[in-house]
Chain A
Amino acid sequence: MEYEAVIGLEVHVQLKTNTKMFCGCINKYGGLPNTHVCPICLGMPGVMPTPNHDAVVKTILTGLMLECNIATRCKFDRKNYFYPDMPKNYQISQYDEPLCEGGAVTLNLLAYPKDAQKLETTVVDKKVRLVRIHLEEDVAKSQHDEGQSGVDFNRAGTPLMEIVSEADMRTPEEAFAYLTALKQILIYGNVSDADMEKGQLRCDVNVSVRPKGQEKFGTKCEIKNLNSISAVRRSLKYEIDRQIEVVSEGGTIRQETRRWNDVKGETAVMRIKEQAHDYRYFPEPDLLPLNTSLGLRSEAEVLMPELPSAKKARLATQYGVSEYQASVLSSEVALADYFEKAAEAAKDKGLVANFLLNDYLAINSDLSTIAVPAPWFSELANELTAGKINSKQAKEVFGLMVSDNPGNLTPLEIIKAKGFVQVTDTGALEAWCDQAIANGARSVADYKAGKVAALNALKGQVMKLSKGQANPQTVGEILEQKLKAL
């Protein structure tokens, strides 16, 4: 029997704000333990929360970017459970009136893992629907020792968005693409740096399997401890195989939470879900409900960036780059911005795209931080377009410019230093052509006999004589004229 997996993701995203969700402490990764804290985020007796305006606006912005419905009225609730990383032993969250509901994440081609991009089974531009996005506060971090744990409240109170997807994904690759595309959007909106290694984006996976064609969901397991997008993919691959094996051998799946072991590459039981948590949600009496129509939504609308799909379309039409190039360029907002600056003064924008996506990538696989001043790309491309250097020279200049440029020379300076001056003076060119014809009787005869390709041999001679500085196009024209006149 053929089985299919059903996957839903719960993603927690730390918002990029100056301060924490409910107090004025700095929202910053790291720091000495318990130095980014105050009575409020330590849950001292008598303290009260005050919500961070920017965190609310950034959550609404996320909702707008993901096409969610933004609630006009929303409120905060207390989610009650005891744990040493919880300063108040309740978390301020949103229960039945979240900021955003609905919406979707579109899985564009480039969001899929490279090896899956070419597969026929890959569903390009699939929409994974969202259930909701709500705003809450992060908990503290703890480190575990022999017999005891130590708690550091620096992270406690960081603004945290919870983004819950529908169980719309069917393959580990789709989960990978979902996270990649989501991360891309979050960075586009400057909502979060979404760095999984720093815990800025954290993901819990729910997965079940069922016979293909069956409507009813199987029993799901939750996977935790996923520290990278590729770990999500690998853990799902493992877990789906495991579940299919159990089911196809007539066994049943137990509802449980499993921990991913990245080194061993397998999931193992963490705890069995005996009963649902009783979180005893109730409205947070220390906070008034919010009305997003009083400026908050319109503030988020102002911050709305050009989204990846729109950017891709614009780059293709505005710069005449290929659709593939536009996709790659728009995959990261920093890259797209860089490209637009790099291509700004170029006569042939496509040349800049080629330099960036072919030549640059050949040298340096990381496009997120390019140390070269963007206008140099235009400068170099324009020299080539104007025929002042040839493409071979241009490649050489490019290589020096990006990876061997201790003097921080501009492309023009490199061209000059290299003596890459194309000779277009016809007097000199004619002299070299005459010499080539005189020395190349064989090629001349072949050409005369109708072998057009023989012209290239003569051209090569001229280039040699000119030490590569002759303009090949002009040389060709002169040679042809001279040969015809013979």
Chain B
Amino acid sequence: MSSQGIDVQYVADLARLRLSADEVATFQKQLSDILGYVDQLQKVDVSSVEAITASAPTSNNLRTDELKPSISAEEALANAPVQSDNLFIVPRMVE
């Protein structure tokens, strides 16, 4: 793993964060430092963990298939930045 490898612009696009050029530069430096620090983990011997296979849990926390009250459209949309006709409005999605 290479800590220099982070491409801040690419990752910010994946995370849907539009950064300014200044932010990209600052983060590039800061994150490289952090990743440099994190690189210490590479020397940790994890072979003993590798041997442990994921065990099945001893109970299942599942919900009974029973109806619970929903909220009204008005409540659902109360926080919507833009709404119309009971719908959450966004810029036109393109497929």
Contact = CB atoms under 8 A, between A and B. Distances in A.
A–B proximity contact (CB within 8 A): yes
Contacts of A39: 71
Given A33-B73, A34-B77, A291-B56, A24 B63 contact: yes
Given A54-B65, A73-B55, A143-B87, A37 B93 contact: no
Interface string B51-66: 0001111111111111
A1 interface: no
Contacts of A288: 57, 60-61
B7 to A, nearest CB: 12
B56 to A, nearest CB: 4
A33 B57 contact: no
A36 interface: yes
A150 B85 contact: yes
A34 B56 contact: no
B18 interface: no
Contact of A148 (B60, B62, B67, B90): B90
Interface residues of B, number: 35
A296 to B, nearest CB: 7
B84 interface: yes
Contacts of B76: 34-35, 37, 42, 153
> Quick one: which of A51, A53, A144, A270 has the most chain B CB within 10 A?
A53
Interface string A30-57: 0011111111001000000011111110
Given A149-B93, A150-B84, A290-B62, 14 more contacts: A24-B67, A25-B70, A34-B76, A84-B93, A143-B87, A144-B92, A149-B89, A150-B87, A151-B88, A151-B89, A153-B76, A289-B54, A291-B56, A291-B59
10 contacts: A19-B68, A34-B87, A34-B88, A50-B61, A51-B61, A73-B56, A149-B93, A150-B85, A153-B88, A288-B57
- 5 closest cross-chain pairs (CB), A and B: A24-B68, A150-B87, A54-B65, A53-B62, A73-B56
